[in-house]
């Protein structure tokens, strides 16, 4: 892992492969490790230079105050575009998962010249907050279980791993895989503040970020090949959100992972990689 200076900030990055134009993976809620190794490796075997990175205030990227961000969603989108330009003169395939998928949508709309293709995984076409009437909201029962839990001692590695494992069981993700990612995320802690804690704060960050003006009404402007990937069992952003994205982005392809929830399982890595490489 290393860092890249882009858009006036430092971004923690990791490279897989070194061929062809870059394929940039924009993180979700657990730093760059929200993108599984199996998927990154499968894409690299397919001949792509894969780069996954940490958003601001998480992992190895610039951290100021994760609970009071002094930037907007569009600044995060500009980070993605700037990173793509720093990596290669050629446009990049941009990929976003969860909240990173929101960043990716805005980046593709605001900086279309920086990107050649777009993949959106487990996300929705609006910012955190009130949900459009035609979009399914978070599953209330699942969210109640998920957010009623006490926070762990973020300095206790085992406690953080257990908290993540319990969350995976509630969401329907692989508990063992999630536990392993939580351990790796904790081990990447910059200084004395656990990276997992910073990743957890991203929920607060995105809820408080300035996400205006809305971008859903602009999705028809996207003129690049687009793939929408969504877990059929996702209770956080139910699959209807992915269906809406695929309908509203011209020519977009929808890939529904029947046995997946919010995370991309290793078992689906080759299937997802093949669809992405086909754009």
- How confident is the chain (279 residues) per 10-residue block, as mean pLDDT? 94 89 81 94 95 90 79 92 95 95 96 97 92 96 95 88 95 97 85 58 64 91 98 98 98 98 97 97
Residue 32 lies in a domain: yes
What is the pLDDT at residue 183?
A: 92
Residue 213 lies in a domain: yes
What is the pLDDT at residue 23?
A: 87
Joined tokens for residue 240 = 């209807």
Residue 156 lies in a domain: no
Dist. CA 50–CA 23, nearest whole Å: 5
Q: Note down the domain range covering 257.
A: 2-136+197-277
Residue 132 lies in a domain: yes
E strands of 33-168, at which residues?
49-53, 92-97, 115-121
Find out whether 265 and 254 touch, Cβ atoms under 8 Å.
Answer: no
Residue 264 lies in a domain: yes
Find out whether 240 and 208 touch, Cβ atoms under 8 Å.
Answer: no
Peptide bond just before 213 cis, omega within 30 deg: yes
What is the pLDDT at residue 206?
A: 65
Q: How many domains does the chain have?
A: 1
Residue 234 lies in a domain: yes
Backbone region of residue 263 per phi and psi (left: phi > 0; alpha: psi in -120 to 50; beta: other values): beta
Dist. CA 50–CA 93, nearest whole Å: 9
Residue 79 lies in a domain: yes
Query: The domain spanning residue 258 has which CATH number?
Result: 3.40.50.1820
Return the closest-CA partner of residue 29 out of 55, 11, 51.
55
What is the pLDDT at residue 178?
A: 95
Residue 183 lies in a domain: no
């Amino acid at each position: 892992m290393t860092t890249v200076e882009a858009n006036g900030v430092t971004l923690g990055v990791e490279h897989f492969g070194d061929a062809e134009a870059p394929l940039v993976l924009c993180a979700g809620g657990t730093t760059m490790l929200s993108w599984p190794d199996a998927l990154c490796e499968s894409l690299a075997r397919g001949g792509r230079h894969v780069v996954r990175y940490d958003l601001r205030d998480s992992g190895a990227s610039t951290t100021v105050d994760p609970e009071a961000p002094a930037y907007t969603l569009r600044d995060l989108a500009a980070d993605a575009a700037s990173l793509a330009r720093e990596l290669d003169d050629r446009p990049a395939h941009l990929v976003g998962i969860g909240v990173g998928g929101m960043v990716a949508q805005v980046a593709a709309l605001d900086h279309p010249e920086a990107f050649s293709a777009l993949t959106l995984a487990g996300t929705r076409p609006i910012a955190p907050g009130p949900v459009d009437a035609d979009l399914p909201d978070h599953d209330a029962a699942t969210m109640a279980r998920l957010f009623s839990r006490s926070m762990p001692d973020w300095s206790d590695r085992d406690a953080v791993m257990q908290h993540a494992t319990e969350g995976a069981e509630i969401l329907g993700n692989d508990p063992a895989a999630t536990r392993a990612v939580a351990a790796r995320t904790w081990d990447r802690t910059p200084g004395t503040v656990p990276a997992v804690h910073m990743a957890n704060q991203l929920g607060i960050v995105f809820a408080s970020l300035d996400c205006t003006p809305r971008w859903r009404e602009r999705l028809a402007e996207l003129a690049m090949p687009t793939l929408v990937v969504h877990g059929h069992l996702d209770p956080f952003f139910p699959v209807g959100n992915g269906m809406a994205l695929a309908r509203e982005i011209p020519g977009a392809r929808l890939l529904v992972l029947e046995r997946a929830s919010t995370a991309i399982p290793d078992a689906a890595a080759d299937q997802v990689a093949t669809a992405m490489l086909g754009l």
